[in-house]
Each structure stands twice: as structure tokens, then as C-alpha cells.
Amino acid sequence: MSVSLFEPFRLGDLSLANRIVMAPLTRRRATHGTNAANALMAEHYRQRASAGLIIAEASQISQQGQGYAFTPGIYSPEQIAGWREVTDAVHGAGGHIVLQLWHVGRVSHVSLQPGGGAPVAPSAIATTKQVAIETGFVDCSAPRALGLDEIPRIVDDYRKAARNAKEAGFDGVEIHCANGYLIDEFLRDGSNERTDAYGGAPQNRARSGLEVADAVLEAWEPSRVGARISPVSPVHDMADSDPQTVFGYFVGKLAEKKLGFLHVIEGATQGPRDVAPFDYLALRKSFPGAYIANNAYTLELAEETLASGRADLIAFGRPFIANPDLVERLRRRSPLAEVDRETIYAAGARGYTDYPTLTA
């Protein structure tokens, strides 16, 4: 049976207008000083509310979880209020929106950390990549390994953030387990050399992510919770000796918890889809919830993927930056506007809320 990208989809008890998902896109427009969402961000998301589902940009669960200047958080009253303005705008336009919960782990700089401390990670292994601080891009600071007594505190930060997201009016949450950030760092043996209960065997490396899922499920029904993974993406110097085994185990355990959706970056983040061999269909078959496919999807590839049953929903990232009416452009098979790369992470409305629609 043919499945259209533009037909409705039932995600748990949410009725999505179509199968197009707006992927989370870090844009660094949060209010300086509070890292709270604001009216400009509310307008940005409102413009894109025709997506069946919006996954709002990654939002740090604590100051320790921040890796870039001016990214929004979800741990203070000001941040909850700011996100409420966003969710009200999206709901007022008929859309649905969930929040991505984020701890960057080692992908950070001392200037962003509480008291100027070192970023934290499963092991004291640095990444060679850079992050943006208030004065520009700098090398990531060397991390320190988390103590056993610190991990439950981070899990509790996720628990609080999940509750805060509900207070802010979101329709659900996505746990960020991808792109070389903290949970991904625990999962992959290239960044996790621990010899305790959180390192070594795949079951141990998956432990922190599964504990986070349990904490988030204290605040949300399972159908309103998802997880994002990037099994073979080398972003932020990530690697694993056997990704099929560790991610197969992790996804199987998430399936047992009846999570509502699995959001998978297939291939390299913002890079080639065939960067390394991986059986994504095996994940699809092991996970009874909705499978969201992500990475360099064109309209043609999206249609073919849905028709073959390899995914339920298709996530588009950068095309949503320059095309607030992406759904309509895809429906009409109209040309897509090009992204102004100089304004992706800049301040203000330029390159954020000023991209025209077809009708404009």
C-alpha cells in the first residue's frame, strides 16, 4: 500500500497532520543572560507549525549540560516561561511540538561550565572539535571523568527537565542520545573506557541512557517520549567497535519501555548516508513505536522510504531553516530556498524569521 508523506499519522494519542518532522536545529537565539526562549523563537517555530511534528532545538538540562553560547535551557523558571510562549504559538497555529533534552558531555568549554570547571564525560578523553562561546569558536576543553556518585545527579537533572517541559506546554520530549553528546559518549567505546557498571559490555554502556529514560518516564506517558540516536556518525570524533550490537541492545531496551518514537540519524550527521555499514532495518523491526528517519532526505527518497515501510515519519533539518512553508513546497514539488549559512548561528531575525513563503 502506498504511503504519502502528506497523509496524517497517529503518534500515540497525537494526531499529526502529515509525516513530515522538523528536526531539532540549534540556532543560538536564546536570550542572553538567561538562556531562555523568547518571542523571536516563538515566531520562528510558529512559522513552521505546518510540520506534522516539530522537535524543538536541543535544550540543556542544566548549566553543566551546555556546550554553546546562547542555546536555550529547560532548568529555570525563566526558561520554562520562555518555552511556554513558544508552545502556545505552535499550538495556536495548529501544530505539535516536543522538546529535545540535552547534556553535551565533553563537547563544551570551561567558560560555559559552572564555576569554570572542566566539562564532564564518561572518560577523560577529549574531542578535537570546537564549540561557540560568546567571543567565537574555541577548542573544546579537556573533560574529566564523571564519578559514580555524579551520574544519579545528572539523571535527576533529566527528570526535572522532563517535568519542566511538561509545565512549559510541550506535547512530549525527545532524549538526545546522538551526535557525540553525553549519552552517546557513554554508549560508544571510543569515548567510554570505564571499567565500572557504566563501561565495558554494551549492557553497561547503555545503562546511563536507560536510567535517563526511566527518569523521563516518571513525568511522561511512554507514547510522548522518544530518543534520538546516530549509531555510526563520526561527529565530534565518535567511534565504536561494534555499533550494531550496542545500539541494537539499547533500542531493544527502549522498545521494552514502550517509547513512542525512535529518531535515527542514518549515516554521518550533516554528511554522507553511507559513511559506515549499519542495518537500520533491524532497529526498525525491533522497535514497535514510530521510526523517524533522518539525514539528507529528499522528497524522492522520503517517498520511497515510506512506501517500502522502512520508516513512519521523515525528519528534515536544514531545509526547514530557509523554508518555513517546507510542507507546502514539498507538496507542490516547488523549488526550495537556499540557506544563508552566515546567519544560521547569528543573532536576531535575519536568517531566522525573515525567509519568505511561496505566497509571500
CA dist 227 → 130, 171, 197, 250, 295 (Å): 25, 15, 22, 10, 16
pLDDT, tens digit, 9 for 90 and up, residues 244-256: 999 999 999 999 9
Q: Do the Cβ atoms of 48 and 320 come closer than 8 Å?
A: yes
Residue 54: is its pLDDT beyond 90? yes
Instruction: Give me the residues paired with residue 100 across strands.
Output: 174
Q: What pLDDT is stored for residue 338 in this prediction?
A: 96
Residue 227 to residue 299: CA distance in whole angstroms: 24
pLDDT, tens digit, 9 for 90 and up, residues 292-307: 999 999 999 999 999 9
* pTM of model > 0.95: yes
> For residues 42, 23, 96 and 29, what is the CA-based torsion angle, rounded to 10 degrees?
-10
pLDDT, tens digit, 9 for 90 and up, residues 338-355: 999 999 999 999 999 999
Any idea how long the chain is?
A: 360
Residue 90: left if φ>0, alpha if ψ -120 to 50, beta else—which one? Answer: alpha
The per-residue DSSP string of 301-339 comes to: HHHHHHHHTS-SEEEE-HHHHH-TTHHHHHHHTPPPPPP
Q: What pLDDT is stored for residue 187 in this prediction?
A: 99
pLDDT, tens digit, 9 for 90 and up, residues 182-232: 999 999 999 999 999 999 999 999 999 999 999 999 999 999 999 999 999
213 contact partners, CB below 8 Å, separation of at least 6: 175, 225, 227, 254, 257, 259
Average pLDDT, the chain: 98
Of the pLDDT bands very low, low, confident and very high (cuts 50, 70, 90), residue 1 is: low
Residue whose C-alpha is closest to residue 247's, from 272, 259, 264: 264
Q: Which listed residue (158, 181, 297, 355) is catalytic?
A: 181
Residue 3: is its pLDDT beyond 90? no
Task: State the cell numbers at 13.
Answer: 494519542
Q: What pLDDT is stored for residue 2 in this prediction?
A: 77
Q: What is the CB neighbour count within 10 angstroms for residue 119?
A: 26
The yes-or-no answer on residue 181 being catalytic is yes
pLDDT, tens digit, 9 for 90 and up, residues 260-284: 999 999 999 999 999 999 999 999 9
Task: State the cell numbers at 357.
Answer: 513563503
pLDDT, tens digit, 9 for 90 and up, residues 111-132: 999 999 999 999 999 999 999 9
Residue 19: is its pLDDT beyond 80? yes
Q: What pLDDT is stored for residue 360 in this prediction?
A: 79
Q: Do the Cβ atoms of 264 and 279 come closer than 8 Å?
A: no
Residue whose C-alpha is closest to residue 56's, from 12, 25, 30, 27: 25
Q: What pLDDT is stored for residue 136 in this prediction?
A: 94
Element (H, E) at 90: helix 77-92
Q: What pLDDT is stored for residue 348 in this prediction?
A: 96
Instruction: Give me the residues paired with residue 73 across strands.
Output: 60
In this structure, the strands spanning 20-22 and 136-139 are: unpaired
CA 340 to chain CA centroid, Å, is: 22
Task: State the cell numbers at 9.
Answer: 499519522
Residue 101 to residue 74: CA distance in whole angstroms: 8
Residue 90 has, within 13 A of its CA and on its CB side, a CA count of: 29
Q: What is the CB neighbour count within 10 angstroms for residue 342?
A: 9
